[in-house]
Amino acid sequence: MKRTLLTCTIFAATALCSCNSDIFVDRPDIPETTTVSIEGDGGECTVDISSKELERLVLDITSDHSRFCSYYNHAGEIIDRNAPAADVSRIVYDDDFEQLVVERRGNKLDIHSVCNTSDHDIVREIRLEYPYGNRYVRINIGPGEPLVLEDVACPEELTDMSNSRKTVSRITVNNESPLPTTTVEWPYLNEVPTLLIEPHYTDKWIEDKPLSIPVPVYGNGEWRLADMGEMLPGHKYHIGGPDRHTQVEITIPAESHVTVTTDVIYSTATTSGSLLFLNRILDRPIIAEYNVTSTYPTGYDIRIDELP
């Protein structure tokens, strides 16, 4: 009985060691995440990978940018991004601002950044899928040559102008005296002009680029287009304005119960245009559209209404 038990124990231990050995031998001797850094314009590097049991090779891109990413087979034909890793020879990410090429050569990945026009590092990640888990190559791509503003196209006249009212104060005054009394209003105290350069919803990327373009400016009772220096799209600016300490004395009739309402009259002017940028590395023109809206307090209206 003892001999039989000993034989079974030795067999079980041998089988267990054999199983564990098989598990670890099949896994690649590469770290879970490999991090590399390259220059934005022309930076290159090569990363070692394991091709054994590699199921998929993917450049991780958000869904709204996936249309810029293409996968190619060994014949140079575009294939589905979910194709088996054995079919993937090259991955290209190409939008107006960045181009990245990843080529597979057996157990190596050649990574080449053609350009990065942003002013900061971009991080891209390659995912290698194996039956036992994923491995990643994280690529830090440094900034390269920025886009160049080549031309500004805008109308010579304002495209639209309109007026509106804004109630800024409403007070109730009860004058029980047999004589008139007075009160003072400051119609412009909290009112300031505003100017906003608003990019088209597809061109929000220009919000970090200072622009010097003609904008609607109010003065001497009329609107005109003028260059007010560099401004950032998406940021609201306050330029000029009437004297905020303007005081208006209002006479309240004797023995009256009234409401004093102060409205400020705003004039609004709008214009639009387009910007032509150039990606000089790719020799690729990029057009961005924008609107400009300016408002200015041009007057006030103070009403006295009797209350019952």
Residue 211 DSSP label? B
Q: Please tell me whether residue 201 adopts helix, strand or coil conformation.
A: helix
- 3-state SS of 71-138 is EECCCCCEECCCCCHHHCCEEEEECCCEEEEEEEECCEEEEEEEEECCCCCEEEEEEEEECCEEEEEE
> For the chain, how many residues are written?
308
Measure the CA–CA gap between 304 and 248, rounded to whole angstroms: 13
**pLDDT, tens digit, 9 for 90 and up, residues 161-216:** 899 999 999 999 999 999 999 999 999 999 999 999 999 999 999 998 999 999 99
Measure the CA–CA gap between 111 and 102, rounded to whole angstroms: 5
**pLDDT, tens digit, 9 for 90 and up, residues 209-228:** 999 999 999 999 999 999 99
- CB-count exposure of residue 29 (10 Å: 0-12, 13-18, 19+): exposed
Domains of the chain: 29-141 (2.60.40), 148-306 (2.170.15)
User: Residue 275 pLDDT > 50, yes or no?
Assistant: yes
Instruction: Write down the pTM of the prediction.
Output: 0.78
Residue 32 DSSP label? S
**pLDDT, tens digit, 9 for 90 and up, residues 135-158:** 999 999 999 999 999 999 987 788
